[in-house]
Amino acid sequence: MSRFILVAMTLAVTVAGCNRFPDNGLQIAANIPPDTGSCGFNADSELRLLRGRYDIAYPRDYVIAPLLQSYLVANGLEFQGEQNNLQVDNYEITILLPDDTVPVLPGGLPNPYTVNTSAVLPATTGENISEAVGAAVGIPASYKDALRAIEAETGFASVVLSIRAGGTTFGGFSQRSAAFRWPVDICDGCLGRVCTEDEAEEIAEESCLKGQDVWVYCGSVIPNPEP
């Protein structure tokens, strides 16, 4: 009997709390850089960057890989599948200035904006927190001119991405995390290198996310030195 009472109480709390509870159930703990060997993202990775860098001279989006944590406790029963598994499918991102103001972006670009991701976090059991990495576009390449305008108008050479993860439990309840703040320095050509042909080949293999954070690219390639 107590088992059924517990289920009923849990359901009542979830419904009554509606979208107030999710800020405790879903969190972003960090922004994970890719492993240098495989260039894949791993929730068990111990690598951390303190802040990002976006070279807007290189033609690509700025990629984020938030480390997601679910604190939703398993509630599966013999006659009912697990309802607290969580699928995170979007991030709501707001570009902030370092003084916490929200800039109006030129060209009618939205701010905040929503980007897609895909990550499934099993319900938490025991003492282990459920974790997964959900990679996504953090700043679309189409925002580069807006970033140039921000620096020209405000003098700020960096922005802060305020990132809120969103998703739905298998039981159909919406979840939205608290904001995770990720500072990004903006530069124009700072990660570009003059490379020999051999160096260009090496960078092509080892530089995971060219043009952002710590990953360089070849701005120009010159012939290998004569032997």
Looking at the domain assignment, is residue 7 inside a domain?
no
Question: What is the per-residue pLDDT for 80?
Answer: 62
Question: What is the per-residue pLDDT for 186?
Answer: 97
Q: What is the CATH number of the domain that holds 69?
A: 2.60.40.1820
Q: How far is CA 40 from CA 45, 84, 120, 199, in A?
A: 10, 27, 17, 22
Question: What is the per-residue pLDDT for 194?
Answer: 96
pTM given for the model: 0.84
Question: What is the per-residue pLDDT for 20?
Answer: 42
Q: How far is CA 17 from CA 42, 174, 175, in A?
A: 33, 11, 11
Looking at the domain assignment, is residue 201 inside a domain?
no
Question: What is the per-residue pLDDT for 213?
Answer: 97
The structure tokens listed for 189 are: 């050509």
Please tell me the distance from the alpha carbon of residue 23 to that of residue 226, in angstroms, as a whole number.
61
Segments forming the whole domain that contains residue 113: 21-187
Looking at the domain assignment, is residue 34 inside a domain?
yes
Q: Give CA 38 to chain center in angstroms.
A: 19
Looking at the domain assignment, is residue 217 inside a domain?
no
> In tens digits, what is the pLDDT along the chain, a chain of 227 residues?
333 332 332 323 333 334 444 456 899 999 999 998 889 999 998 888 999 999 999 999 999 999 999 998 887 665 666 778 999 999 999 999 999 999 999 999 999 999 999 999 998 887 788 999 999 999 999 999 999 999 999 999 999 999 999 999 988 899 999 999 999 999 999 999 999 999 999 999 889 999 999 999 999 999 888 77
Question: What is the per-residue pLDDT for 81?
Answer: 63
Domain count, the chain: 1
Question: What is the per-residue pLDDT for 76?
Answer: 64
Measured in degrees and rounded to the nearest 5, phi and psi for residue 161 equal: -90, 120
Question: What is the per-residue pLDDT for 187?
Answer: 97
